[in-house]
Amino acid sequence: MSQKKETSCKLDREIESSQEAKTENQLARLDRYSKAKRQAEIHQRYIEESFDNYQGRQRLELISLYDKLTSCGHFLLFHNYYTIGEFRLVEANFCKKHTVCPLCAIRRGGKMLRTYLERFEYLRSQNLTVRASLVTLTVKNGPDLKERFEHLTSGVKNANQRIRNFKRGRGKISIFKSFLGYVGSYEVKRGKNSGQWHPHCHMIVLHEDRIDPKQLAKEWQEITGDSFIIDVTEIDEGDPVKAFCEVFKYALKFSSMGSADLLEAYFLLYGRNLIFSAGLFRGLKIPKELTDNLIEDLPYIELLYRYTSSGYSLSEYNGQKITPR
């Protein structure tokens, strides 16, 4: 964990300003969505084959999940605000099953990324002494996903209690006292070598004093009893996006998970809040809708894309059907 991980951000983000870059962004975005839909189709096939392995409520839930995944994102309607080169996704039928649907995970992750990044930038503009680090906390791998996941969440709750105790002038000295705020997400995958479950969490932590990794590892082991594996990487002030992406990417590592594991994790995580926050990051509202905001008072062209076996392709241009060549 000590080595700095190179991560690419697969979430939606709009940072380039030139019209050319925006068009390239849009093409890359459609390509990303096509890949996500193809991955969703693999999940769909597995879910369909698994119907008979489940009974009662879980079986009904699976059938409903299958239907929602199948219809999710089969069309995407964009507005192209051509005077400024901007593309906005204004209509789609999302399933919102983001723990199992890669397309909805991208959209939801992008919304969270923007919301928390804006808060981060605001805080930095107000107080130049606030620093931020990407912190990863793990527990020892194990065969029982539920037991391991609950072990991790109770460790995080314990750490949070230490912060509260410190604020009230109670409890012993803790490294967590230097945490001014954080937002984090739980992630579940199989360990690469052990093949056992490996739940862990990534957090963006705001702090003033440097976080000493050795001290954090020591205290985390004291809390969990079985893990001192942590990572602390101070965030590059010039490019915080990559670190935020690490927190808001999928809760389930689709690429490292077979569909059977995915369903086991899906039922376990169903209805649970996988994002947690405290202090300066607490209470931010994430938009419920997965579409983009409209831009008022600017002319636009409507672009309707449909998903086919070869990915998303333009189906209608301003209401006119496009004839495939």
- Interface positions with Zn ion (CB under 5 A): 72, 94-95, 101, 103-104
| Distance from C-alpha of 202 to C-alpha of 184, rounded to nearest angstrom | 5
Residue 103 vs 203, nearer CB to Zn ion: 103
Residue 101 vs 188, nearer CB to Zn ion: 101
CA nearest to 117, candidates 29, 239, 249, 274? 239
| Distance from C-alpha of 103 to C-alpha of 94, rounded to nearest angstrom | 8
The Cβ-side half-sphere exposure at 148, using a 13 Å CA radius, reads 23
> Cβ of residue 36: shortest distance to Zn ion, in angstroms?
9
Whether the CB-CB separation of 104 and 94 falls below 8 Å is answered with yes
What burial letters (b/e) apply to 273-286, b meaning 16+ CB within 10 Å? ebbbbbbbbeeeee
Whether the CB-CB separation of 152 and 201 falls below 8 Å is answered with yes
| Distance from C-alpha of 15 to C-alpha of 241, rounded to nearest angstrom | 10
Local structure of 73: helix, strand or coil? coil
> Cβ of residue 61: shortest distance to Zn ion, in angstroms?
15
- Give the contacts of 5 (CB within 8 A, at least 6 positions apart): 246
> Cβ of residue 9: shortest distance to Zn ion, in angstroms?
20
Residue 94 vs 248, nearer CB to Zn ion: 94
> Cβ of residue 74: shortest distance to Zn ion, in angstroms?
10
> Cβ of residue 271: shortest distance to Zn ion, in angstroms?
17
CA nearest to 77, candidates 276, 290, 245, 262? 290
> Cβ of residue 84: shortest distance to Zn ion, in angstroms?
29
Residue 65 vs 117, nearer CB to Zn ion: 65
Bridge-based pairing of strands 301-308 and 75-81 is antiparallel
Residue 113 vs 223, nearer CB to Zn ion: 113
> Cβ of residue 97: shortest distance to Zn ion, in angstroms?
6
Residue 19 vs 93, nearer CB to Zn ion: 93
Local structure of 226: helix, strand or coil? coil
> Cβ of residue 75: shortest distance to Zn ion, in angstroms?
13
Residue 40 vs 152, nearer CB to Zn ion: 40
- Give the contacts of 234 (CB within 8 A, at least 6 positions apart): 131, 132, 133, 210
Residue 236 vs 289, nearer CB to Zn ion: 289
Whether the CB-CB separation of 49 and 63 falls below 8 Å is answered with no
